[in-house]
Structure 1
Amino acid sequence: MARDLLALAAALGGSLHPGPAPGAPGPATLVDGALHWRDFTLIGHPTYATVVAADRLDLAASSLDGSDRRLPFLPHAVLALPDSELAREWLPSAPGTVLLAPVSTGELLHARLTAVLAQDQAAEDRAVTLGTKVLTQVARRGGAAAIVNELASRVDGWAVLLDTHGQTIATSGAGSLHVADAAAVAFNRPVRVRHPGLQVHPVGLGEDLTAYLVFSSRSGRESTHRDLAAQAAALLDLVLRRQDHSATERLGREVMMSTVLAGGAEAAALLRRWGVREERLVGFELSSRSQAVDVERLVRRWFDALGAPHLFTMGQDAAKGLIAEERLAGLEARAEEFGTPPRPALRLGVGSARPVDALGPSAVEAREAHQSAVDAAVTVRRYHRMPSVEYVMDRLPATDGARLASLLDPLALRPDGEELLRTLRAYLVANGAWSAASRTLGVHRQTLMNRVASIEELTGWDLGDIDARTGAWLALRARGISGS
């Protein structure tokens, strides 16, 4: 797109001759617009180039008699002339930057300038329209944080969203210095800003101001980025102001599910009021391998199709809920069919059917089955098909289970205990394969080996021994480690 003077000259097949005056537009100066000499009165924008197409050099020169009111503005404008010998002879005495183009008249040159800039503006408008559509889509899925992230990506820079008190709501690509600079320019604070060229867009107007959107771009498409940021600010205003009924519903379901899983007569009574007539339900936990899948919306749609009440809530990365035994097959079939084989997109763990006043254990079973599905990279895993869990853990008295879990205390009580427990789980799931476990944890193989050595030293186990690995795995299950 021909936005700077050099690109504009290339689009016209002409040449650019920078002017001698200090501050005269140079090759990298962005173009503000094109005018005919007869319409030229002043410079439209001091930091942009105003291109003025003259009829012919002799007519243009005749108007520069010293009394013309436009003369003081010429050193800071760009005079566009038809390329000719007369024009080139005049170049050394030109007061400002001159663009020579291979056309016959100034009228034609003005028409070509207008056409090139209009085509460029249309391309920018298309880019802004496309960007706005994408911002709208990500706003539906991820809210304010997703909008800020998408904007930073599209402007090839960073973005910060601040509330009216200067607190950070969301950032993307921004470090602490960026956030400090964003707050300084948004609130006009008298401090040194280390990142020049920041753009500030208020989210809302006047007394209805809700936030400030600040961003910086590494590219020069200022106009496109400014328009796109304005659209992002408008979307953020809607997102930050809306009354999120879905969030209210989600919170209500979370509270009710906690009551149901606590068990007892109160749980059974609540389920009856919730429209549940079954005497037994099954716990489940469902997650996706891809963040692009909206698991909550997926489960809601499936439950509607199955005619099941929405007995589920969203955890950090998985839907956790309850379903009647007769509808379980339908849920499993939909999970199996979702995605593209041979790499299943979903992970579904299913517990055992339990009475409606004692559903807590089924939810725990579902969590264990879900983790087993993740570890084994399968779509559906039922708890009753996990004999090591069912026949060992279920038959341990509570005191023995607590004693088994306490074997991990030397790890859990350390400051890096969670890291060591995740390392132990990954190592055991990989059957002692260093490469596979290091990939799962995202660490170097040597780092993994050092951690495993620390685990063996702290616990006294030899993890090369199958009995030690079995005991460690049962201890993890007893402790209820979900892994990551």
Structure 2
Amino acid sequence: MRISDLLGMPHLRLDQKAGFSGNDHRVTWAQASDLECPWEWMTGGELLLRNGRTLPVSAADQVTLIENCAAHDISGIVLGMDPETPTLRKRAIQCAEALSLPVMLAPYSTSFGAIGRAVAQQTSSDEARRITLTGRVYDVIRRSVTQSTDAEPLKALAKELGCRIAVLDAQTGRSVLSKSVGVTPALQSALVEEVRRRAGALPGVVHLEIGGERAHVVEVPDEEPTVLVTYAFRATPPDIVVLQHVATAAAVLISQDGIRREHERRLGAELFTQILDGRLDEREAERQLAARRLSSTSTVLVAAQGVNDSDERGVHLTLHRRAIPNLLLSRSGLLYALLPSSREVIRVFHERLGEHACIGISERLGTCARMTSAVREAKWAVRDAANTAGHLTRYNDSAQLSVLRDTEEAQIVVDRVLGELLQYDREHHTDLVSTLDTFLSSGRSWQHTAAVAGVHRQTVVYRMRRIEQITGRSLAITGQLAELWIALRARDIAPSPQGSSGT
């Protein structure tokens, strides 16, 4: 259908005001929109139907609307007139003429439904082609799921659409499918910058132009920000309906890729377990780490508290998207990660888990033989992180660890400060050490400690007095209180903590 065909329908009574030289524009669909930037939900060829009262009042704003519609290949504009419709300014008319963008007025009595129906009837063959194309899209996905093939499904989809296709991480611009290639560096950079500029809130279609070449970007439904990019169009670009179907198909491909990724995560967790438990000799452990692009000389062990199973899967996906090598393992309420020691890597890890998570980071591993010590360091640091503003502590940056540079010194501090209390707990089957830890960790809250211990508040008061008597240290004296706190944290990294009560 052409604009001239629409104007030739007497029952619509359209009155053209500008852009007469564009009356041979093809009309693929009629799209009603009063949004400020309606072209961000169109791919080109649509007829924009707009309530007249939403037409900008000023000539400059009207010109901006016309310029953007022309730049995004909108076929024409129909303004639905009513008593509150602003006057179409002379500058706007001149702009539409210069850009060959038809601008028409529809009388108050003509509904947008009638215009849309007229377009739909005339473009029924186009709609049939769209339905056929959509069916082909899902057939490609069906074959990729049911048949074992090395063929790249995106290549088949690209052939159907007559363009090139990429499925990319919205924040990095990297390809998210293992069998597909990315885009040019210029397009990748433009995409990342546009997503950043919009703070991740993308419209129906993002239009990019790099070196005179156009690209259309739509969101892909996925747990990580993901986009579908179409570019290098051989003919008319696919419309937004087709693009959304392709984006849904891409989500299926990502899900398939996720099954393989989850298998890799589980294998990595098993390897991590074997190294932690000493079931691999050092040489074999180093070899297997190298196979996963990790080296003990440049990695740290990270412990995260306050996470769940879905957080672990999400972290693995985020690290995978950024090509960051890793091993992950959940154990005893903590998520452990073996990661490159880069601060940027730690930032990505922490941001993915969120501000609620407490992060503790060991010193550099150095050798696989030091893995057990690295676990103690990370555990100590994650406990300390709960008391810091950023909820992140590095073992080698913590001032409190200045006297605890190795596990032997940690055990000396535990024995000196908590030795008698630990012995009392063992002999009397009490949990005074655990009560003390809870009391100090909660900011010396009597009520919270009572709730955790399941006792009356007065019982907590009695226990604290008993602790002061046994240890010979007063909770009212800052220096002695600090000694108790450091000894409790030293107990986290001591090789064989005396008395396991409360741990």
Q: What TM-score comes out, normalization by structure 2 length?
A: 0.39
* Greater relative contact order (Cα < 8 A, sep 6+): 2
Q: What TM-score comes out, normalization by structure 1 length?
A: 0.41
